[in-house]
Amino acid sequence: MPNWNSAIKKIDVNDVVSVNLNHHSELFISEVEPIMKLNIRGKSRDFLSMIGKILNIILPTETNTSTTNKFITAIWLSPDEWLIFKNNVTNRGAEETNIEENLYKNISQKKLGSITNVSDQFVMINIQGKNLYELLSSGCPFNFNDFKNKKGAVTQTLLNHTDVIIYNEDINKINLFVRRSFSAHLWSWMNDSARFI
Amino acid sequence: MGKTKPFLDFQNDSTANDIKLALREGFKSIEHVKRYTTTGMATDQGKLSNMHALGIIAETAGVKMGELGTTTFRPPYTPLTFGTIVGRNVGEFFDITRRTPIHDWHVENKAKFENVGQWKRAWYYPIDNENMHEAVQRESKAARDSAGILDASTLGKIDIQGSDASEFLNRVYTNAWSKLEIGKCRYGLMLNEDGMVYDDGVTTRLSENHYLMTTTTGGAANVLSKLEDYLQTEWPELDVYLTSVTDHYGTVSICGPNSKKILSKIIPDLDLSDKEFPHMSFKNALIDSIRCRVMRISFTGEHSYEINIQASYAKSVWEKCFEAGKEFNITPYGTETMHLLRAEKGFIIAGQDTDGTMTPVDLQMDWIISKKKYDFIGKRSLYRSDTIREDRKQLVGLITDDPKEILEEGAQIVAETNKQPVEMLGHVTSSYFSPNLNKSIALAVVKNGKKLKGQKMFVPMENKIINVTITDTVFLDKENKRLNA
């Protein structure tokens, strides 16, 4: 039997669970996979209500903030755009499909806004450790002074000239979203830059 | 030494004497002295020069330095190295690289890569000691004779949703979109406001208010920004939302007369008949329970399919296609062969055969300009006196008298070589040796080219003059029979 009939496999971008970037500063980096990510866009009150009804979450309307419940987190991207992602790794199966299809049916098809699956558009990288912001600051123009003390804060900035979304999950712990095609390069850059911290 | 100027600020060339002059003229506040002399107003923001200026002012005015105050200090408060700001841009980190989800397969199979924007794209796949020419000849022959496989993941992909999505596309592209049926694909040309070709690609209608637009690889980011800009500033009344999904999907393109047989092995449940799945249409499908979109579209002129699947499954699908295609000698081909195959069909590459000065009419693509639509970006400019000139440079084909002679891209084209000064009529935009036609072919832009078909021209090179004939832009399969082969 030819093996072209075998099941297709999912391949992670960075084939590691967790890497200690710098033993002295205890800086850890890991790809969080698989995580459902959806880009949602809309403007009307009906859109916001429907999202709240389906996901049981109030979308953040204040710039660079987020909201979260037990299952998902919503990140503000622009006045009519949010990135939502699951708080825990999930099986890429029916659960993910059901949420997407439910939203698509009630938002996109009812002309309230748009729902787009971006699970593989972004790689989510978790970075934690006391020197976390030194690593980011070595290639980022953003001033993290206020950000690092504000749990749930979000910023869209550049890291090593690459567009990234950074979400402050907790003290010295962030989730960084980078487009998949850039992720291997950025991962290498972080490994290299951590040597100098 | 007596005439040496005591410089304080080495960036703005102000001296100690300038400070003293400012005081004599009545400027006492450090803020006023700063503005009068420009001391400390350069990129050091006063960290170097202002400290000395304060000392001179204090000494001249007979007060303590601490009583003078300081100017407003701005970051960086302490000197920083450039490395602190920009990070380590050295070696492999000097420039960003983007990789497709199938990149590792290309590396494992010894592909040579070329940079396309920030992307690393497989250029060609040499076997043994093949050079690029030999590899490309082999790849392009295999794609036409049996089956070829291309990683097309780098194409820009924009998800378009909203009740005004069709109207939006009508305004963005030169052709009409309202009547495109759900499940069908259409090629579109996008113009700048000056009427010049900006980008192109195939857009698919996924549902009533949902489209997937593809753009050129290099133009993806700019097209998305431009379209978002139009939505926010020019057409805020339109209910349309754009989301980039370029990285979300990996795209595997299989082409050639055996592509249908290969796809049927991978997705046996999908009806691939021309009636059910004609050229320029799409189907949702499952590959091992993973959802994918299959488009029957072609950039080679061959019977072709593009499988779009979530990026993390793309390499696996590629390998599956490759395995299924082995009995048909499926051959991976890179960007160089892709360019050759499309040139045989006379398909343009925006950015190679266009340079920001070509209208659709110049490209002999009048058919893509809707006469019925009220407006689209660039429409007005297509009717200006300069753009309707008949002697503009126009896209043509070129055949060399010596079929083995390959023209250089960028080479100039002239009608006469003896007359001085030599008038340059145009230049070669794409040039290849076609193994499928067994002769050299080229695309070029030539002044008044449409009316010069059959005319002999010359391409003067450093050591010789090459004789060429102007032809039609389509060199192979003018009847498009291969699309349904």
Nearest to B96 by CA among A40, A188, A106: A188
A-B CB pairs within 8 A amount to 124
B contacts of A3 (beta carbons < 8 Å): 323
Res A6: pLDDT:
43
Query: Chain A: nearest CA to B249, how far in angstroms?
Result: 7
A contacts of B239 (beta carbons < 8 Å): 111
- Whether residue A4 is contained in a domain is answered as no
Q: What are B441's strand-pairing partners?
A: B399, B432
Res B86: pLDDT:
61
| Listed residues A74, A94, A117: the one ending a domain | A117
Res B42: pLDDT:
86
* Prediction ipTM score: 0.91
Res A10: pLDDT:
58
Cα B426 to Cα B411: distance, rounded to the nearest angstrom: 9
Query: Chain B: nearest CA to A152, how far in angstroms?
Result: 24
Res A3: pLDDT:
37
If one compares B51 and A128, the residue with the highest pLDDT of the two is: A128
Cα B347 to Cα B334: distance, rounded to the nearest angstrom: 17
Res A4: pLDDT:
36
Domains present along chain B, CATH in parentheses: 1-94 (1.10.10.1100), 103-154+249-342 (3.30.1360.120), 156-244 (3.30.70.1400), 345-376+384-471 (2.40.30.110)
State whether A102 and A126 are in the same domain. no
Residue spans of alpha helices (H) in B193-334: 220-229, 259-266, 311-325
Nearest to B169 by CA among B138, B214, B126: B214
State whether A92 and A136 are in the same domain. no
pLDDT in tens, B239-250: 999 999 999 999
Query: Chain A: nearest CA to B331, how far in angstroms?
Result: 16
Kindly indicate the confidence band of residue A19, based on its pLDDT and cuts at 50, 70 and 90: low
The answer to whether A196 contacts B88, with C-beta atoms less than 8 Å apart, is: yes
For A30, the token pair is 């890991």
What's the whole-number mean pLDDT along residues B50-76? 84
pLDDT in tens, B73-104: 776 666 666 666 666 778 888 889 999 999 99
Which of A5, A96, A112, A121 would you mutate first to test chain B, the one with the most B CBs within 10 A? A121
State whether A136 and A90 are in the same domain. no
Does B99 touch chain A if contact means CB atoms closer than 8 Å? yes
The DSSP string of A32-85 is --S--EEEEEE-SHHHHHHHHHHHS-PPP-STT-EEE-SSEEEEEEETTEEEEE
- Whether residue A6 is contained in a domain is answered as no
Res B451: pLDDT:
95
Does B241 touch chain A if contact means CB atoms closer than 8 Å? yes
Tell me what percent of the residues of chain B surpass a pLDDT of 70. Answer: 97
Task: List the single range of B11-20, B227-236, B360-369 with lowest mean pLDDT.
Answer: B11-20
What's the whole-number mean pLDDT along residues B351-363? 96
What's the whole-number mean pLDDT along residues B28-32? 87
Residue B381 DSSP SS3: helix
Residue A159 DSSP SS3: strand
Which of B241, B251, B265, B288 would you mutate first to test chain A, the one with the most A CBs within 10 A? B241
pLDDT in tens, B183-226: 999 999 999 999 999 999 999 999 999 999 999 999 999 999 99
Res A2: pLDDT:
35
Contact B85, A141 (CB under 8 A): yes
The answer to whether B96 contacts A160, with C-beta atoms less than 8 Å apart, is: yes
Cα B309 to Cα B287: distance, rounded to the nearest angstrom: 9
Residue with tokens 């710098």: A22
- Whether residue A81 is contained in a domain is answered as yes
Res B334: pLDDT:
98
Tell me what percent of the residues of chain B surpass a pLDDT of 90. Answer: 82
Residue B458 DSSP SS3: strand
> Chain A residue closest to B105 (CA)?
A11
pLDDT in tens, A23-39: 556 788 998 887 899 99
pLDDT in tens, A60-76: 999 999 999 999 999 99
| Listed residues A117, A134, A166: the one ending a domain | A117
- Phi, psi (degrees; rounded to nearest 5) at B17: -65, -35
State whether A43 and A113 are in the same domain. yes
Q: Which of B37-41, B78-82, B109-113 shows the highest mean pLDDT?
A: B109-113
Residue in A13, A42, A193 closest to B88 by CB: A193
For A81, the token pair is 């755009």
State whether A145 and A173 are in the same domain. yes
Q: How far is CA A174 from CA A27, A157, B8, B61, B314, in A?
A: 12, 14, 45, 54, 29
Task: List the single range of B371-375, B392-396, B466-470 with lowest mean pLDDT.
Answer: B371-375
The answer to whether A192 contacts B88, with C-beta atoms less than 8 Å apart, is: yes
B contacts of A108 (beta carbons < 8 Å): 161, 209-210
Q: Give contacts of A 176-195 with B, CB under 8 A.
A: 179-182, 184-185, 188-189, 192-193
| CATH number for position A143 | 3.30.1360.120
- Which residue segment(s) compose the domain that A66 sits in? 37-117
State whether A27 and A65 are in the same domain. no
State whether A50 and A112 are in the same domain. yes
Res A21: pLDDT:
65
The answer to whether B320 contacts A6, with C-beta atoms less than 8 Å apart, is: yes
Checking if the pLDDT of A187 tops 60, the result is: yes
Does an H or E element contain B304, and which?
strand B304-310
If one compares B338 and A11, the residue with the highest pLDDT of the two is: B338
Nearest to A196 by CA among B299, B93, B339, B422: B93
Cα B106 to Cα B315: distance, rounded to the nearest angstrom: 10
Does A79 touch chain B if contact means CB atoms closer than 8 Å? no
Q: Give contacts of B 362-391 with A, CB under 8 A.
A: none
Mean pLDDT of chain B: 94
- Phi, psi (degrees; rounded to nearest 5) at A108: -65, -50
| CATH number for position A113 | 3.30.70.1520
Residue in A7, A41, A120 closest to B311 by CB: A120
State whether A77 and A140 are in the same domain. no
Checking if the pLDDT of B174 tops 90, the result is: yes
State whether A63 and A111 are in the same domain. yes
The answer to whether A4 contacts B209, with C-beta atoms less than 8 Å apart, is: no
- Whether residue A163 is contained in a domain is answered as yes
Number of domains comprising chain A: 2
pLDDT in tens, A84-114: 999 988 766 667 788 999 999 999 999 999 9
- Whether residue A1 is contained in a domain is answered as no
If one compares B392 and A193, the residue with the highest pLDDT of the two is: B392
Cα A113 to Cα A59: distance, rounded to the nearest angstrom: 14
State whether A128 and A181 are in the same domain. yes
Res B43: pLDDT:
78
| Listed residues A86, A117, A148: the one ending a domain | A117
Query: Chain A: nearest CA to B294, how far in angstroms?
Result: 16
Res B61: pLDDT:
86
State whether A26 and A64 are in the same domain. no
Query: Chain A: nearest CA to B333, how far in angstroms?
Result: 20
- Whether residue A69 is contained in a domain is answered as yes
Checking if the pLDDT of B115 tops 80, the result is: yes
Give the count of beta carbons closer than 10 Å to the beta carbon of residue B207.
13
- Whether residue A5 is contained in a domain is answered as no
Cα B254 to Cα A30: distance, rounded to the nearest angstrom: 35
Nearest to B286 by CA among B313, B260, B262, B261: B313
Does A73 touch chain B if contact means CB atoms closer than 8 Å? no
Res A1: pLDDT:
33
Res A5: pLDDT:
38
- Pairing, β B148-151 against β B331-332: parallel
Cα B264 to Cα B283: distance, rounded to the nearest angstrom: 13
Amino acid at B434: S
